[in-house]
C-alpha cells in the first residue's frame, strides 16, 4: 500500500501531536515539517529524521498539508498549498462569519486546482459541530448548550498577557452549565505594578467583562499549565411532536492531541472528497477512518 | 417551496411518530400511509385526513417511502419502492452481516432505478453509529462500550412472549456498565402454568442465557409499558500517541419518537445523495437538517 504523504505546517503544541498521529496512522507518512516563520526557527535541518524546511517545494511529493498554525494565518497560508494541488486541513477556530468567508475563498482556490480543503477540523469547531448536528437530527427543535472546560483558553490567555504589567498569565475556562462560563485568570505581575489595577483591567477587558472573572496573583505560571480540556454538550429537544428528548456529549482530553488527531483523520477524509472546501459536518463520518467501508460498518454499526 | 412527499409504510408505534415528524418538518408533507398487511387493517380509508391504502401506486406522487416496518420485512419491502424510483428509509436493526447484505442488495436496485436507500437509520444502529465513528475519529485506538437502557428491548420481549405458558411479557434492558447488561423480565403467566419452570425456560433462552436475567411474575403487563429508552456510549482511547482521551454520549428519549425523527431527517438527506444505498455514517451530517448550508454552519459550528 502506498502511504499518503503528509506535510506538517507549523510545529507548536498541535504540530508536534500531528507528527505523532501521522506516524501512528497505518496509511500515512510524514513528508516533512514546514517552518512557519518565527515559530520554528530553532529547528533548521532535520527533526526526528524528518526534513524541516521553510518551503514545501523543497520536500518530495506532498499529498496533504496539515496547517498546525495560528487560525489567523490560515486564510493566507492555505491557498499557497491548494494552488499546488496539495489538500489542506486546518483547525480554524474563529467562530461566526469568518468561517463562511474562509469556506468560500478556499472553495474557489481548491476547485481551480483540483484540491480539497477541510476547514475548522479541530474539536470545536469540528467534531463538536458534528455532534451538535447529530443532536439536531434526533431532535430538530430545542436548545443546545455547549459547556467548555475546565481547561486553558488560548484566546483569553493571550488577552490577559496583553494587559500592561502582566509578565505571564493563564486563563482557565470553568463551565457553570447552560453555556455559561466562569474565568479563572492566574497572573504573574511585573515588579512595581499594582495587582488591584491589573485585576481591574482584566475584568474590564472585552474578553472577560461578560463572564464572572476571578484573578489570582501568583509567582509562577509555568507550573500551572496543563493541556487537559473538556466539553459538555447538552440538548433537550423535540423529536416530531415528542418532547423531553435528552442528549449529552462529554469529552475530557489532552487538547492539542485531540485537535491533531481530528486534523489527521480529516486529512484522510480529504482524499475521498470532490475538489472544494468542507467543514466536518459536510463530510461522511466514515471517511475519517482507516480501513474498508464494509469492515468499518460491521464494526461500528 | 415545493414540499417533499413522504409515504409512511407501516403504522405502528414508529409509523405514528413518523407522521408527527413529517408534519412538523417545514419542507415535507405526508403523501399517505401504506398499510402493511395484518398490521393496519383497522384503518381502511383515511386517517387524520391522509389517505390510507395497501398500495403506494394509489397515492399521488411519492418522493420518499419511510419504512416503519419490522426489520425482517425490510429486504422484501424496500426494493418494491426503489424499483419505482422512490427513495426509501428504514431502521433495519439486525446487527452484523445482514446489514452489509442489505446494503449490497439495495445498492444494486437503487442505482438501477436512480433512487436512494438509507438503511439502518434509527438511533442504534443509526445516530449511535455516527457517534461511535466520531469518537474513533478523535481517538482511533481504544475501546468503545455501548450501554443500552434502562428501557424495553423489543427482541427480548418477543423472545420472552414466545416461551410456553407466557400470556404477556416485557423485557427491560438495564445497563451494568462496560457494555454489560442485566435483563429484567416481567411475565404474566397463563393459568395452570408453573412460574418456576417459565423462569427457568427464559433464563436458558439464547436471548437471555449470556446475561444476568431476573424474572418477575406479575398480574399485568400493559401498565408497565413505558417507551422511554436510553444509551450511554463510552470511549477511552488514544489520539496520536496521547492516551486517556475520554468521551461519552448519553441519550434518554422516547424510543419510537427518536427513531421516527432520525428516519425523517434521513429522508431529507436521501434527496442529497447520489443513487445507491447508505448507512448514516456514509452521509454528510449537514444533509439531515432543513435549511441553507451556510446558515446551518453558522449556527452549529
Is B250 among the domain residues?
Answer: no
Lowest-pLDDT range of A261-265, A272-276, B20-24, B50-54? B50-54
* pLDDT score, position B30: 96
Which residue, B206, B226, B246, sits at the end of a domain? B226
Number of domains in chain B: 2
Taking only residues 248 to 287 of chain A, the set having a beta carbon closer than 8 angstroms to any beta carbon of chain B reads 248-254, 257-258, 260-262, 264-265, 279, 281-286
The span from the CA of B130 to the CA of B116, in Å, is 19
pLDDT, residue B37, reads 62
Per-residue pLDDT for A46 more than 60?
A: no
Is the pLDDT score of B190 beyond 70? yes
Pairing of strands B28-34, A276-278: unpaired
Do residue B90 and residue B156 come from a single domain? no
Share of chain B above pLDDT 90, in %: 84
CA–CA dist A102, A98 (Å, integer)? 6
pLDDT grade, residue B155 (50/70/90)? confident
CATH number at residue A163: 3.30.360.10
**Mapping DSSP to helix (H, G, I), strand (E, B) and coil, where does residue A296 land?**
helix
Chain B residues in contact with A262 by the CB 8 A cut-off are 137-138
B120 and B56 within one domain: yes
Asked whether residue B239 is assigned to any structural domain, the reply reads no
Answer yes or no: do A45 and A112 share one domain: yes
The model's pLDDT over B97-128, given as tens digits with 9 standing for 90+, comes to 899 999 999 999 999 999 999 999 999 999 99
> How much is the pLDDT for B73?
86
Residue finishing a domain among A183, A206, A226:
A226
DSSP string computed for A107-170: HHHHHHTT-EEE-S-BBTTBHHHHHHHHHHHH-SEEEEEEEE-SEE-HHHHHHHHTSTTEEEEE
Contact by Cβ (8 Å): A58, A44:
no
Does the pLDDT at position B47 exceed 60? no
B106 with B17, same domain: the answer is yes
Q: Confirm or reject contact between A214 and chain B (CB < 8 A).
A: no
Percentage of chain B with pLDDT > 70?
Answer: 96
Please tell me the predicted confidence (pLDDT) of residue B45: 45
Inter-chain CB proximity B257 and A250 less than 8 Å: no
Does B280 lie in the same domain as B218?
A: no
- For residue range B69-92, what is the model confidence (pLDDT) as tens digits? 988 889 989 999 999 999 999 999
Do B156 and B268 lie in a common domain? Answer: no
> Is B247 part of any domain?
no
Please indicate whether residue A167 or residue B58 has the higher confidence score (pLDDT).
A167
Residues A120 and A52 reside in one and the same domain: yes
* Partner-chain contact A21 B120, CB within 8 Å: no
* A118 lies in the same domain as A153: no
Q: Are residues A116 and A262 in the same domain?
A: yes
Give yes or no for A288 touching B (CB within 8 A): yes
Length of chain B: 301
- The verdict on a CB contact (< 8 Å) between A133 and B286 is yes
| pLDDT (mean) for A239-268 | 98
Q: What's the whole-number mean pLDDT along residues B222-228?
A: 96
Residue B247 pLDDT > 80 = yes
Here the CATH number for the domain that contains residue A98 is: 3.40.50.720
**Residue span of the structural domain in which B182 resides:** 148-226
Q: Is residue A237 part of a domain?
A: no
Mutate to test the interface with B, among A27, A102, A131, A134 (most CBs of B within 10 A): A134
**Residue B288 phi/psi, 5° resolution?**
-75, -20
| Residue A75 domain-assigned (yes or no) | yes
Query: Which pLDDT tens digit goes with each residue over B165-180?
Result: 999 999 999 999 999 9
| pLDDT tens readout for residues A62-117 | 999 999 998 888 998 999 999 999 999 999 988 778 999 999 999 999 999 999 99
Nearest to B241 among A20, A249, A252 (CB): A20
Q: What CA–CA distance (Å, rounded) separates B157 from B186?
A: 9
- pLDDT band for position A243 (cuts 50, 70, 90): very high
Q: Which three cell numbers stand for residue B230?
A: 436510553
What pLDDT does residue B46 have? 46
For B135, nearest residue in chain A (alpha carbons): A127
Per-residue pLDDT band at B39 (split at 50, 70, 90): very low
Is residue B164 packed enough to be buried (19+ CB in 10 Å), middle (13-18) or exposed (0-12)?
Answer: exposed
Whether residue B113 is found in the same domain as residue B49: yes
Over 90: is that where the pLDDT of A17 sits?
yes
Q: Looking at the structure, do residues A17 and A106 belong to the same domain, yes or no?
A: yes
Binding residues of B for substrate: 173, 183, 229, 255
Interval B147-155 mean pLDDT? 92
Q: Is residue A137 part of a domain?
A: no
Instruction: Check CB contact under 8 Å for A127 and B138.
Output: yes
Each residue's pLDDT tens digit, A190-230:
999 999 999 999 999 999 999 999 999 999 999 999 999 99
Domain presence at residue B286: yes
Indicate whether B197 belongs to any domain. yes
Q: Are residues A169 and A270 part of one domain?
A: no
Amino acid at each position: 500500500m502506498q502511504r499518503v504523504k503528509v506535510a506538517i505546517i507549523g510545529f507548536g503544541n498541535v504540530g508536534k501531536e500531528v507528527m505523532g498521529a501521522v506516524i501512528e496512522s497505518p496509511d500515512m507518512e510524514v513528508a516533512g515539517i514546514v517552518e512557519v516563520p518565527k515559530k520554528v526557527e530553532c529547528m533548521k535541518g532535520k527533526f526526528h529524521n524528518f526534513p524541516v524546511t521553510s518551503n514545501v517545494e523543497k520536500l518530495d511529493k506532498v499529498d496533504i498539508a496539515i496547517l498546525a498554525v495560528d487560525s489567523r494565518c490560515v486564510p493566507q497560508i492555505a491557498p499557497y498549498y491548494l494552488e499546488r494541488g496539495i489538500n489542506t486541513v486546518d483547525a480554524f477556530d474563529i467562530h461566526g462569519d469568518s468561517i463562511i468567508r474562509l469556506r468560500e475563498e478556499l472553495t474557489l482556490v481548491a476547485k481551480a486546482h483540483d484540491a480539497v480543503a477541510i476547514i475548522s477540523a479541530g474539536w470545536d469547531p469540528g467534531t463538536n459541530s458534528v455532534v451538535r448536528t447529530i443532536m439536531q437530527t434526533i431532535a430538530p427543535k430545542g436548545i443546545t448548550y455547549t459547556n467548555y472546560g475546565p481547561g486553558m483558553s488560548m484566546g483569553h490567555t493571550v488577552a490577559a498577557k496583553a494587559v500592561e504589567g502582566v509578565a505571564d498569565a493563564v486563563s482557565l475556562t470553568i463551565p457553570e452549565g447552560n453555556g455559561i462560563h466562569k474565568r479563572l485568570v492566574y497572573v504573574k505581575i511585573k515588579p512595581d505594578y499594582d495587582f488591584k489595577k491589573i485585576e481591574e483591567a482584566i475584568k474590564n477587558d472585552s474578553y472577560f467583562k461578560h463572564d464572572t472573572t476571578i484573578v489570582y496573583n501568583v509567582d509562577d505560571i509555568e507550573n500551572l499549565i496543563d493541556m487537559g480540556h473538556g466539553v459538555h454538550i447538552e440538548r433537550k429537544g423535540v423529536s416530531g411532536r415528542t418532547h423531553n428528548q435528552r442528549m449529552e456529549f462529554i469529552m475530557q482530553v489532552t487538547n492539542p492531541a485531540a485537535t491533531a488527531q481530528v486534523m489527521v483523520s480529516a486529512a484522510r477524509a480529504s482524499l475521498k472528497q470532490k475538489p472544494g472546501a468542507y467543514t466536518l459536518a459536510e463530510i461522511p463520518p466514515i471517511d475519517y477512518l482507516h480501513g474498508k467501508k464494509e469492515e468499518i460498518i460491521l464494526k461500528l454499526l
